[in-house]
Chain A
Amino acid sequence: DAKTTQPPSMDCAEGRAANLPCNHSTISGNEYVYWYRQIHSQGPQYIIHGLKNNETNEMASLIITEDRKSSTLILPHATLRDTAVYYCIVSSANAGGTSYGKLTFGQGTILTVHP
Chain B
Amino acid sequence: DAGVTQSPTHLIKTRGQHVTLRCSPISGHKSVSWYQQVLGQGPQFIFQYYEKEERGRGNFPDRFSARQFPNYSSELNVNALLLGDSALYLCASSLYYSSGYNEQFFGPGTRLTVL
A44 surroundings in chain B (CB, below 8 A): 43, 90, 92, 106
Contact A87 B102 (CB under 8 A): no
A44-B106, A107-B42 known; A98 vs B33 contact (CB < 8 Å):
no
B50 surroundings in chain A (CB, below 8 A): 101
Chain B count of residues within 8 A CB distance of the other chain = 32
The docked-state distance in angstroms from the alpha carbon of A43 to that of B4 is 10
Does A9 have its Cβ within 8 Å of any Cβ on chain B? no
Contact A101 B44 (CB under 8 A): no
The docked-state distance in angstroms from the alpha carbon of A91 to that of B103 is 10
Interface of A: prevailing SS:
loop
Contact A30 B42 (CB under 8 A): no
Chain A count of residues within 8 A CB distance of the other chain = 28
Does A49 have its Cβ within 8 Å of any Cβ on chain B? yes
A49 surroundings in chain B (CB, below 8 A): 101, 103
B74 to chain A, nearest CB (A): 12
Show the binding face of B for A, using Cβ within 8 Å: 4, 31, 33, 35, 41-45, 48, 50, 55-56, 58, 88, 90, 92, 94, 96-109
Show the binding face of A for B, using Cβ within 8 Å: 30, 32, 34, 41-46, 49, 51, 85, 87, 91, 93-94, 97-108
* Listed A/B pairs (11) with beta-carbon separation below 8 Å: A51-B101, A85-B42, A93-B100, A98-B98, A100-B55, A101-B92, A101-B94, A102-B58, A103-B43, A104-B45, A106-B42
